[in-house]
Amino acid sequence: MAKPIPQQPKHEDAAFLHELAVRIRDARAQRGMTRSALAKDSGVSLRFLAQMEAGEGNPSVLVLRRVAEAMGFPLELLLADEPINSPDHAPLSQILRRLSADELRAAREHLVNRFPDRSPAANRVSYLALIGLRGAGKTTLGRRLALQRGVPFFELDREVEREYGATIGEILQLHGQPGYRRFERQCLLSVLKKCPAAVIETGGGLAADPETMPLLLERCYVVWLRTTPEEHMQRVIDQGDMRPMAKSREAMRELKNILKAREPYYRQAALQLMTAGKTPDASFAELLSALAHELAPVSG
């Protein structure tokens, strides 16, 4: 007779579903997706997504959790896309889960230093990447910095559009977020391969991608350009995009949620530069000063 699955106390189930709800909401904010867009791309109903984000998950989620706990096996490894062939994965996963955010950052830096990328293009100080939300000044400062250094400037979003012959919106509609992030990563690798040095502007959601952001941190000197939510919004409007004005209160709340969800990823940057209340000239001078001893000179 099969051994019954142990029952979790109801308060532990509720706590798990609450944490799952928080993670789903944060993940959606990190990617800048509306619930409607997620419903369309995932094939899951709006009603079911709303229930999950309210902490009312499907009972089958709890059953899978209990099966994992009964085996003493981490749930995330059961759900991994690739098979786990090494006995070291589970212990490492348990160690990482115990670490604080600062300890995780230190562990990542240690691993990067201990096991560096030895490919010919892996020159950390030759590439500078700008991350952050739209309206922080990435394009303005990135173009000026590339001109000053005499290196190419790449807007990664435009590279994706050029390479795949479609707009970002069309790519997302055809391939969804995973497809777009895959194309984005391929274009980044292409830039790093063909240019010995460059300034690279990234899209706002790249920082939360678990494959592309580590690549960016390892191969580039990463700068987080940031400003206040109000300035983000106003600069987007000044660029001619009036969409935030249609539902200004809702748009501002969504913008703040995205910033909050992505901030831990943006904070991995080697340098942070606040552009709020500053002219482009003042921000550029501050950026040059901060980078004076960080980037390798570009050979002519």
Q: Which CATH number fits domain 124-291: 3.40.47.10, 3.40.50.300, 3.30.300.20, 3.20.20.70?
A: 3.40.50.300
Measured CA to CA, the distance from residue 44 to residue 150 in angstroms comes to 48
Among the listed residues 126, 191, 182, 180, the one whose alpha carbon sits nearest the alpha carbon of residue 155 = 191
Domain 8-80 has CATH 2.40.420.20: no
Where exactly are the structural domains of the chain?
Answer: 8-80, 124-291
Pairing verdict, β 153-155 and 221-226: unpaired
What's the number of CA atoms in the CB half-sphere (13 Å) around residue 160? Answer: 24
Measured CA to CA, the distance from residue 23 to residue 201 in angstroms comes to 27
Per-residue pLDDT tens over the stretch 66-112:
766 765 666 776 666 665 555 566 677 778 878 887 788 788 777 76
Residue-level pLDDT at 49: 82
Spans of the chain below 70 pLDDT = 1-10, 57, 59, 64, 67-68, 70-74, 77-90, 112, 116-125, 240-248, 295-300
Residue-level pLDDT at 23: 79
Residue-level pLDDT at 251: 80
Residue-level pLDDT at 255: 86
Residue-level pLDDT at 229: 87
Q: Could you say which DSSP state residue 126 is in?
A: G
Per-residue pLDDT tens over the stretch 54-66:
887 676 777 767 7
Among the listed residues 187, 251, 264, the one whose alpha carbon sits nearest the alpha carbon of residue 30 = 264
Residue 11 in tokens:
């308060």
Residue-level pLDDT at 82: 61
Strands annotated E in the chain: 127-131, 153-155, 198-201, 221-226, 271-274
